[in-house]
Chain A
Amino acid sequence: MRRIVVIGAGPAGMAAASAAALHGVDVVLIDAGAKLGGQYFRQDALAAGDRFTLPRNVEHVASAAVWAIEPVDGGHRVHLRIGPADGPDRRGRAVEARALVLATGAYDRALPFPGWDLPGVFTAGAAQALAKGQGVAVGDRVVVGGTGPFLLPVAASLIGAGARVVEVAEANAAVTGWLGNPVGALAGWSKGGELVRYAGTLARHRVPYRSRSAVIEAHGSDVVESVTVARLDALWNPVQGSERRLEADAVAVGFGFTPQLELALAARCRVEDGFVVVDAAQGTSAPGVFAAGELTGIGGADLAASEGAVAGAAAAKFVGAAVEPPVRAMARVRSGRRFAAALNAAYPVRSGWHDWLRDDTIVCRCEEITKRALYRAVDERDVGGVRSLKLVSGAGLGLCQGRVCGRNVAELAGVDGTGFAKRPIASPIRLAELAEEEPVETPIDAEESGRVLGVEY
């Protein structure tokens, strides 16, 4: 039987599922969310039905957390729990497939600053997800901060959800610089028009947009009451005397994105510079495992979808479907990556943020590890790797398993942070669930598994 599993139903995963299905392959498309769409196409959760329809031979398994991927002869076994998130009675299921498309996306990188652990401080993505999916604004007076074009749609959504956006603080140069250069680097980038619209929304609502600035502190006793915004020098050190206090009940900050790597690492895909390495067919270093979307590099929804189309076709070919190279999607991937590279180069994270922290600023939110405690562990014990760093400092040992603090802690401690993403249990599972026997559906049959098809275009 020709069948693949796609994990993640965002732009990349949906495109992969459709592409494979169009080649006559059965697809099991698994996503933690109740509806299709992932982050970019996040649907209104309160509306009935699903906006998207996929080919009939795609089985969409919704509200399903993939908690482990296990290598088996000839492929992988994907373990999921289906049902109310984190509930004790979710249904277990294990699906085997010779080809797998990983499209697990990314999440916001949040940099720490004094007060960032107060309720009322959110990631930019949280503000976006709550506005789009739940129709709520995270606050009444919101300061948006961080870096990159993503801050614009976030501010626009907040306005749409009824919040007043007090200010947008961009730590690098203004995104509008890009907008003013339509024939240059931005030419052909489909997001350009979208950004112009968001910029228009901001202008209409007279939202100040300040470049080279950041929220460097949030104030309040039990909830955010105000924030300090400062101008930054080229290295992101706050410029003395430039601090301004703004009244706000919420802050939404995002400094780019971090890919959700744990399933790729469990499938033993090679990761370099923080992203899954893929070839022209979106194939990873692990045979039969393809990756698409933000896992392979941060480049936005269009690139994610193009990569998904290529990955889905390649996975279909891997399981024996007759597939011609999807040359147009492949060309879109190539040009999309060029824009993505230019964009990422324009919105780097500079090390000046290290100095926003005070000694008692929390760096690991779960375990409440302060900068002082982290530095002490590093200085006194001189560890050089993530595994031992976690165990001597406590950072990254909590429930989020270093998703939020990993990159920041690794940067502060001067070690390579990839190890933080090693999470063989990709999503918590209760002991009784784990203890339960779980029938394996459609195991890979022995004859099939003997055949190894390469996908080369």
Chain B
Amino acid sequence: MRVRFDGVEVEAQEGQTVAGVLLAKGIRSWRTTRGGDRPRGLFCGIGVCFDCLVSVNGVPDVRACQRVVAEGDEIRTQAGAELPS
């Protein structure tokens, strides 16, 4: 299946999480922090740390390690705190 990350089409497989897709592509960070504008990505891998936040289909604050991708998902880097669009 295909999803998009920051506008670029990416190949993904059934069952993969957003983090799985991105890490497999060598992408390590997909969020910047609110305070220090620092890059963050996966940390705990199991949904407890909320470091891996990403925006999916216009909805921010989605844990990339928990969210299983669906065909056509529009995934975007999350910059600090965002509102759903």
Contact = CB atoms under 8 A, between A and B. Distances in A.
Interface of A: 32, 34, 39, 44-47, 63, 84-88, 107-108, 110, 117-123, 125-130, 133-136, 138, 222-223, 260, 365-368, 398-400, 403-404, 428
A126 B45 contact: yes
A134 B61 contact: no
A424 to B, nearest CB: 17
Contacts of A365: 40, 43, 49, 51
B10 interface: no
User: Which of B14, B33, B47 has the most chain A CB atoms closer than 10 A to its own CB?
Assistant: B47
Given A85-B63, A87-B59, A129 B45 contact: yes
Nearest to B60: A86
Given A125-B45, A126-B45, A138-B42, A45 B50 contact: no
A92 B1 CA distance: 28
B5 to A, nearest CB: 15
Given A134-B19, A366-B50, 6 more contacts: A86-B63, A119-B39, A130-B42, A365-B40, A404-B44, A428-B61
Interface in B2-49: 13-17, 19-20, 23-24, 28-29, 33-36, 38-49
B66 A136 contact: no
Interface in B42-72: 42-51, 53, 56, 59, 61-63, 65-68, 70
Given A86-B63, A117-B40, A134-B20, A122 B15 contact: no
Contacts of B62: 85-87
B39 A46 contact: no
B39 A125 contact: no
A88 B59 contact: yes
A420 to B, nearest CB: 12
A-B pairs, top 7 by smallest CB distance, nearest first, are A126-B45, A134-B20, A85-B66, A399-B50, A119-B29, A45-B15, A368-B35
B39 A398 contact: no
Nearest to A221: B39
Interface of B: 13-17, 19-20, 23-24, 28-29, 33-36, 38-51, 53, 56, 59, 61-63, 65-68, 70, 84
A123 B43 contact: yes
Contacts of A125: 44-46
A329 B36 CA distance: 51
B53 A399 contact: yes
A88 B17 CA distance: 17
B15 A46 contact: yes
30 contacts: A34-B68, A45-B68, A46-B13, A46-B15, A84-B68, A85-B63, A85-B67, A86-B63, A107-B46, A117-B40, A122-B42, A122-B45, A126-B45, A129-B45, A129-B46, A129-B65, A130-B23, A222-B29, A222-B39, A366-B51, A368-B33, A368-B35, A368-B36, A368-B38, A398-B50, A400-B48, A400-B50, A400-B51, A403-B48, A404-B43
A380 to B, nearest CB: 20
A46 B65 CA distance: 14
Nearest to B45: A126
Contacts of B59: 86-88
Contacts of A135: 20
Contact of B16 (A46, A84, A129, A400): A46
Contact of B47 (A85, A118, A130): A85
B49 A45 contact: no
Could you say which of B14, B24, B51, B70 has the most chain A C-beta atoms within 10 Å of its C-beta?
B51
B82 to A, nearest CB: 13
Contacts of B23: 130, 134, 136, 138
B15 to A, nearest CB: 4
A227 B15 CA distance: 33
B46 A39 contact: yes
A110 B38 CA distance: 19
Given A46-B14, A86-B61, A120-B28, A126 B67 contact: no
A361 to B, nearest CB: 13
Contacts of A45: 15-17, 20, 68
B68 A85 contact: yes
A143 to B, nearest CB: 15
B24 A134 contact: yes
Contacts of A88: 59, 84
A274 to B, nearest CB: 16
A108 B44 contact: yes
A120 to B, nearest CB: 6
